[in-house]
Chain A
Amino acid sequence: MAKEKIVEKEAKAEKKEEEGIAEAAEKPSEEAELLAEGLAEQTPEEALESAAAEASPIAPKKEEIEPQESHISKQVKSISFSILSPKLIKDMASAKIVTPELYDKEGYPVDGGLMDIRLGVIDPGLRCKTCGSKLKECIGHFGYIELARPIIHIKFVNIIMTLLKATCRDCGRILIPKNKLSRYKEILDEVEKERGIEARRDKIKDVITNLKTINKCPNCKARQKKITLEKPTTFIEEEKRISPIEIRTRLEKIPDEDTLLFGLHAPHVRPEWMVLTLLPIPPVTMRPSITLESGERSEDDLTHKLGDIVRINQRLFENINAGAPEIIVEDLWDLLQYHVTTYFDNEIAQLPPARHRSGQPLKTLTERIKSKEGRIRHNLAGKRTNFCARTVISPDPMLELNEVGVPNIIAMKLTVPERVTAWNREYLKKFVEMGPKKYPGANYIIRPDGKKKKITDETKEASLEEIQPGYTVERHLMDGDIAVFNRQPSLHRMSMMCHRVKVLPGKTLRLNPAVCHPYNADFDGDEMNLHIPQTEEARAEAEILMEVQTQLISVRYGLSIIGCVQDAISGNYLLTKNMELSKNEAIDLLAAVGIDNFSKLPRKEKVDGKEVFSALIPDDFNFTGKTRENEEVTIKDGKLVEGYMDRANLGEGSGLLLRNMHKRYGKAFTIDLLGKIFRLGIEVLLRNGFSSVISDTDLPENARLKIKETLDNARKEVDHLISEFKDNKLDAFPGKTLQESLELRILEVLNKARNETGKIVEDFADQGSHTMIMAKSGARGNLLNLAQMAACVGQQAMRGKRIEKGFAERTLSSYKRMDLSSEARGFISNGFKTGLTPTEFYFGSMTGRDSLMDTALRTPKSGYLYRRLANAMQDLKVEYDGSVRDSSNRIIQFDYGEDGIDVSKSEKGLINVKRIVKSVG
């Protein structure tokens, strides 16, 4: 595994060499030594030996464990970066590429061509000449080409420039006098520590200009010439071009101790390696060709580019050998430089990008790594998984909160591996016998050597015979299996929670509507993903750390994030506010919820709703809280004595009742109770009926008159303000112009009017109407919505102001210019039930569009902010001493949050001292 990654990386970033500890032994002794020194690393064998010999109880921090079984994978402990030296390029290569041809007439890869089978195989049936393995087994091998003339590596142009400018053109020493070197070294180290490696290089330039040594070498007194860079890759020294050969010899002259000053750490890095003499050829496995339907081969972009390089390189060789005129050689050389440059990066500003015949630019090395779709963010930091499913979701309140309903079809495709032992052999055989088409069956068996066998009707018998301890059966998903459920965007950890599988008929994934809030899901076509953990560790972690009940309390603010929603709130509100049931009805209700002990119900004919609700609550529970309307709620000894249930107590975010339950009885109890309360609410509505009607918004005649009067008065007042403004009688607010002051006053008047109509609606609307109940209990909607329907929609505001855009000095052509009246500037005096006038409707859609735009513009901005935050802070963790540290062990906080309290274990960030005192007595 490790090796594969490393090789791939090397190829991609081209000039980087990375190595894991597993390979340390194979490295040239010099490098291995350095690694051992820097990291106190040992090869696996050594590590084991020393551990055994010393038998010391304190093992080195990270011990390499010798893989004893095939499934123990090697671990990469560190990766070191450096530049490939020509020697290393040659050493790691398994083929020298000499011809641009790819295949011969038979379609077989040419020896010494770019698809040489010594570089790995991409055709089924062929074997790799280097390692002898087949397709998919061979990870590919590097090759190299010898460049006829040195070529400048485009990615190192800037540092080469710095080196050339800051060192002597004769003796290669840095242009700082010897006696001052140590002092400047300190300064440079300081700069690097503070502002990074790039600042260091800039500083060197500064130092040299300030020392006035730019013209004369302080070491050998040679005169220095001015060097300029003609982008992208041409260096000019006083009008004369410096050839890459010359550049290379100059770089060679720089001694190791001077390169250190530039932050180049020899012997990992020698400056002359930045001018290429050998070019590594990446293995074919990272540039596979695709065979089209027509049988034609389509080569990868990289292969195309490499073909260009090899072709021009060969031409250059021939011309040089034939003694062609200098100008032709130079031209070819430049062409080769262009091809090598675009091979590394095809988006260099000064160069035309290399293109396909179709005209679309080639995707070369840099483009492969870069950006969201590049290797790093797309393949390395983000991965794809098997054993997952995705479909539309729909609600099912009869599921428990921590269950997920999985359709049959999905349950027969997703599997759980179970290891066969002597004890469960018969049990697992039953699955195999059912086969893949009957539920619950099994899809595959895995032999101890790792071979996977599909179960079909034909192989079923053989498989059954074969099964014995050590085998693994991949059986269908069953009730109670562990699954991770997720909805994008996964903005917080509650977006991915662990549920228990419940296999159900139908074709959608089902979830309890109470868990919609943490996922931010609704059922207007949302889709969600389901993952099935495949190992014991994964299942254990999912169950212990991610299951729904462990996420009841938000880590964001320390209150419950899962609570009752919608109908469940209205139902409980109705039940506990003032409902009377017969004993039979009460028992029926409780039984439907899943309660079988009715002893808590009082022994009388008529039962109060509060008493039915109390039947769910444990006897020793005490609670005092407030309703939304600030009335007392008291639960005493498990009985709801005062108040009623609404969103303030049951809902998410605010639900203090639930928070207290959680604290007292733990997560398992709370989630069970929450499920029951939820179902109780729904059952109540089911039995009584609950629907919202247009007539809910009907108002009596006098109320309508009152509303009309309020609106008329407001309109008059606005007109009055406008006329005052026109007569210049209005006072301006400090710091505001007259116009602004007028606007503010008008807004105030109109808002007041709207609020008054809201009041009237509240007073006159039928208090028992279902719309009103929804608003009051907090289940859905609010009084403002009701008022907007029944009376008046109100002022449409954009950017905190009345609408003013549109035509010259007016909002719509229906109005006169400079009309400042309320209706001309977006005040909607009709309600939704009466209907809007065309102009009102238009204003309404203006603000609607505005808010849509706001959302569309906000999403990427906040997404980027989030990505930055997550990236900057992802490796902060709490250490055993309670301090918060980052990955380099730097202390960020001495005690997390200054008191070390975990928000999810607190109550809104605090610890409730009142309860502590009470609990003591």
Chain B
Amino acid sequence: MGEYADKLPKKMLDDLRDYLEKKGKVNESKLKKILDTAVDEYNNARVQAGESVGLISAESIGEPGTQMTLNTFHFAGVMEMNVTLGLPRIIEILDGRKELQTPSMEIYLKQPYSKGKDIREFALALKETKLSDIALEFSISLIDSEIEVKLDKEKMKSLNINNSYVISSIGKQVKGFNAKDNKDSILLRMKSKEESVNEVYRAKEKIKDVHIKGVKGISQVLPVKRGEEYLIMTSGSNLADVLQLEGVDHYRTTTNNVDEIREILGIEAARQSIINEVFKVIENQGFNVDIRHIMLVADTMCVSGAVKGITRYGVVSEKASALARASFETPIKHIINAALIGEIDNLNSVVENVMLNQVVPIGTGMTDLIMKPKNGKN
């Protein structure tokens, strides 16, 4: 079977192998015959040159899009979290947005956590705690430009932190304060003398956001059992920090934020993430779209090495033809810029030729026929 590896796609070979193994012994000549038929079938099923695959993919995603729901639904189960689904999510992914409506992660764990050991504690340790979460009150004394932070001792106890830890966290993240431990509260005084009242107020807001414990950005955690295994779902996402944690299975842990994946794992991972995310939504909505179409969209977004959205700033702006760009959005801008550069449009793509009433260089229009008339005219 090995020699057919470059004649048949891997998936097909695997299917064949599985099926034949199940069926029992097949002799040599018959195997060869089977494989040869398979090669024939495969070659017959290949795309024809000139096929306008881009448009087919666009149609295949755009058409079910008209039937998708607009609402954000939580998962069917009772206990799971809110996740953007349906059309808004598809738009979000294909726009190549960096800020998501509902960022979330699926954190897979290594043994023994994956078997459910200390899963609750592990999950809670992930959750981000800010100063405002453990503070009872922030008060400002205008005379000394001092900020007093009253602390919730009970909460701190349950999170296993003490005052000095809090002070050092504040010191690390916000500069320009002298902190004093006052047992139930912390007193913060501005280092520089002449600070305006406004400045103090601004500082107060800043201090509220000081990160105390857990992973930044993770606002909710939920341990879930999937199959035999426990994993943690979160709302809020911070792949870089989570991957560095002890006990996290960094092979499978993932986030729904494509851009984060691109930054940390690279463009190929981002491409796969786009495919997975789009496929998940389409499947969830009960539509049937072949994975190849989604792959092609993901590939167009990622060819340049960065994740480009399907917008006038992203993929469309990279087109070679000024007329093609102009036919999408902001035509004037594109034409003016083309004029400034002295751009030459070679009419290689579809719209320009439609504009000029010419044959489109795709599909049956891709071929050129050259006839050399014998002895001059006919």
Q: How far is the CA of A318 from the CA of B191 in the complex (A)?
A: 71
B88 nearest in chain A by CB position: A861
Give the chain B neighbours of A898 by CB distance below 8 A: 9, 292, 295
Q: Is the CB of A493 within 8 A of B56?
A: yes
Chain A positions 886 through 920: 1 when the CB is less than 8 Å from some CB of chain B, otherwise 0: 11101111001111111101101111011011011
Q: Is the CB of B300 within 8 A of A887?
A: no
Min distance, Cβ B20 to any Cβ of chain A, angstroms: 7
Whether A187 is near chain B, meaning CB under 8 Å from some CB there, is: no
Which of B134-142, B253-261, B333-341 forms contacts with chain A?
Answer: B333-341
Q: Is the CB of A369 within 8 A of B331?
A: yes
Q: How far is the CA of A828 from the CA of B290 in the complex (A)?
A: 39
Give the chain B neighbours of A555 by CB distance below 8 A: 56, 59-60
Whether A800 is near chain B, meaning CB under 8 Å from some CB there, is: yes
Chain B positions 360 through 376: 1 when the CB is less than 8 Å from some CB of chain A, otherwise 0: 01111010101111000
Q: How far is the CA of A491 from the CA of B20 in the complex (A)?
A: 41
A663 nearest in chain B by CB position: B41
Whether B1 is near chain A, meaning CB under 8 Å from some CB there, is: no
Q: Is the CB of B347 within 8 A of A77?
A: yes
Q: How far is the CA of A275 from the CA of B208 in the complex (A)?
A: 55
Q: Is the CB of A909 within 8 A of B291?
A: yes
Q: Is the CB of A376 within 8 A of B300?
A: no
Given A80-B343, A876-B53, A898-B9, A556 and B87 contact (CB-CB distance below 8 Å): no
Q: Is the CB of A156 within 8 A of B48?
A: no
Given A369-B331, A873-B296, A902-B46, A866 and B58 contact (CB-CB distance below 8 Å): yes
Give the chain A neighbours of B378 by CB distance below 8 A: 68
Q: Is the CB of B300 within 8 A of A1?
A: no
B56 nearest in chain A by CB position: A555
Chain A residues numbered 451-480 whose CB sits less than 8 Å from any CB in chain B: none
Q: Is the CB of B9 within 8 A of A866?
A: no
Whether B355 is near chain A, meaning CB under 8 Å from some CB there, is: yes
Min distance, Cβ B192 to any Cβ of chain A, angstroms: 30
Q: Is the CB of B49 within 8 A of A879?
A: yes
Q: How far is the CA of A741 from the CA of B129 in the complex (A)?
A: 24
Partner of B58, one of A59, A858, A874: A874
Give the chain A neighbours of B363 by CB distance below 8 A: 545, 877
Give the chain A neighbours of B19 by CB distance below 8 A: 913-914, 917
Q: How far is the CA of A693 from the CA of B319 in the complex (A)?
A: 60
Given A748-B78, A866-B66, A887 and B348 contact (CB-CB distance below 8 Å): yes
Given A68-B377, A861-B87, A39 and B372 contact (CB-CB distance below 8 Å): no
Q: How far is the CA of A853 from the CA of B46 in the complex (A)?
A: 43
Whether B226 is near chain A, meaning CB under 8 Å from some CB there, is: no
Whether B167 is near chain A, meaning CB under 8 Å from some CB there, is: no
A345 nearest in chain B by CB position: B332
Q: How far is the CA of A879 from the CA of B290 in the complex (A)?
A: 21
Q: Is the CB of B23 within 8 A of A876?
A: no
Chain A residues numbered 64-101 whose CB sits less than 8 Å from any CB in chain B: 65, 68, 75-83
Q: How far is the CA of A840 from the CA of B338 in the complex (A)?
A: 62
Min distance, Cβ B69 to any Cβ of chain A, angstroms: 7
Min distance, Cβ A77 to any Cβ of chain B, angstroms: 7
Given A376-B327, A493-B56, A873-B57, A861 and B91 contact (CB-CB distance below 8 Å): yes
Which of A176-184, A262-270, A297-305, A816-824 forms contacts with chain B?
Answer: A262-270
B38 nearest in chain A by CB position: A916
Which of B152-160, B199-207, B308-316 forms contacts with chain A?
Answer: B308-316
Q: Is the CB of B45 within 8 A of A901?
A: yes
Whether A292 is near chain B, meaning CB under 8 Å from some CB there, is: no
Q: Is the CB of B20 within 8 A of A917?
A: yes
Whether B68 is near chain A, meaning CB under 8 Å from some CB there, is: yes
Whether A221 is near chain B, meaning CB under 8 Å from some CB there, is: no
Given A80-B344, A892-B296, A872 and B66 contact (CB-CB distance below 8 Å): no
Given A77-B346, A870-B59, A858 and B315 contact (CB-CB distance below 8 Å): no
Give the chain B neighbours of A871 by CB distance below 8 A: 316, 327-328
Whether B326 is near chain A, meaning CB under 8 Å from some CB there, is: yes
| A/B pair count, beta carbons within 8 Å | 366
Q: How far is the CA of A919 from the CA of B52 in the complex (A)?
A: 32
B322 nearest in chain A by CB position: A81
Partner of A913, one of B16, B57, B331: B16
Q: Is the CB of B299 within 8 A of A866?
A: no
Q: Is the CB of B47 within 8 A of A902?
A: yes
Q: How far is the CA of A329 from the CA of B219 in the complex (A)?
A: 67
Min distance, Cβ B282 to any Cβ of chain A, angstroms: 10
Whether B345 is near chain A, meaning CB under 8 Å from some CB there, is: yes
Q: How far is the CA of A902 from the CA of B42 in the complex (A)?
A: 10
Q: Is the CB of B335 within 8 A of A556?
A: no
Min distance, Cβ A661 to any Cβ of chain B, angstroms: 17
Whether B293 is near chain A, meaning CB under 8 Å from some CB there, is: yes
Min distance, Cβ A780 to any Cβ of chain B, angstroms: 18
Whether A492 is near chain B, meaning CB under 8 Å from some CB there, is: yes
Whether A291 is near chain B, meaning CB under 8 Å from some CB there, is: no
Give the chain B neighbours of A349 by CB distance below 8 A: none
Give the chain A neighbours of B70 by CB distance below 8 A: 854, 857-858, 861
Q: Is the CB of B290 within 8 A of A83?
A: no
B71 nearest in chain A by CB position: A799
Give the chain B neighbours of A81 by CB distance below 8 A: 322, 335, 338-339, 341-345
Give the chain A neighbours of B71 by CB distance below 8 A: 799-800, 854
Q: How far is the CA of A799 from the CA of B62 in the complex (A)?
A: 24
Given A865-B90, A917-B23, A492 and B79 contact (CB-CB distance below 8 Å): no
Given A59-B370, A877-B366, A901 and B62 contact (CB-CB distance below 8 Å): no
Give the chain B neighbours of A884 by CB distance below 8 A: 53-54, 296, 299
Partner of B66, one of A16, A491, A800: A491
Which of B29-37, B174-182, B239-247 forms contacts with chain A?
Answer: B29-37
Q: Is the CB of B354 within 8 A of A557?
A: no
Q: Is the CB of A910 within 8 A of B15?
A: yes
Given A857-B70, A877-B52, A903-B293, A376 and B37 contact (CB-CB distance below 8 Å): no
Partner of B59, one of A491, A872, A897: A491
Of B47, B52, B288, most A-chain CB atoms within 10 Å: B47
Chain A residues numbered 775-809 whose CB sits less than 8 Å from any CB in chain B: 799-800
Whether A196 is near chain B, meaning CB under 8 Å from some CB there, is: yes
Give the chain B neighbours of A905 by CB distance below 8 A: 44-46
Min distance, Cβ B44 to any Cβ of chain A, angstroms: 7
Partner of A858, one of B48, B66, B340: B66
B348 nearest in chain A by CB position: A887
Q: Is the CB of B94 within 8 A of A370?
A: no
Partner of A269, one of B23, B310, B317, B340: B340
Whether A882 is near chain B, meaning CB under 8 Å from some CB there, is: yes
Partner of B45, one of A878, A888, A911: A911
Given A380-B327, A858-B70, A877-B366, A493 and B59 contact (CB-CB distance below 8 Å): yes
Q: Is the CB of B357 within 8 A of A366?
A: no
Partner of B340, one of A197, A493, A908: A197
Chain A positions 266 through 308: 1 when the CB is less than 8 Å from some CB of chain B, otherwise 0: 0011000000000000000000000000000000000000000
Whether A733 is near chain B, meaning CB under 8 Å from some CB there, is: yes
Q: How far is the CA of A882 from the CA of B45 in the complex (A)?
A: 13
Q: Is the CB of B297 within 8 A of A865?
A: no
Q: Is the CB of A887 within 8 A of B46?
A: no
Partner of B327, one of A68, A263, A377, A913: A377
Q: Is the CB of A916 within 8 A of B41?
A: yes
Q: How far is the CA of A902 from the CA of B34 in the complex (A)?
A: 21
Whether B102 is near chain A, meaning CB under 8 Å from some CB there, is: no
Whether B349 is near chain A, meaning CB under 8 Å from some CB there, is: yes
Sample (26) of A-B pairs whose CB atoms are under 8 Å apart: A5-B355, A13-B335, A15-B339, A16-B338, A78-B345, A79-B345, A197-B340, A369-B331, A380-B355, A493-B59, A556-B59, A556-B64, A557-B288, A734-B79, A735-B79, A799-B71, A854-B70, A862-B87, A873-B300, A875-B350, A876-B54, A886-B300, A892-B300, A896-B292, A914-B19, A916-B37
What are the 3 A-B residue pairs with the smallest beta carbon separation, nearest first?
A: A876-B54, A866-B62, A268-B342
Known A-B contacts: A265-B341, A891-B303. Give 13 more (CB < 8 A). A65-B371, A80-B344, A159-B340, A265-B340, A545-B364, A861-B91, A866-B58, A866-B63, A869-B62, A876-B54, A882-B47, A897-B290, A920-B33
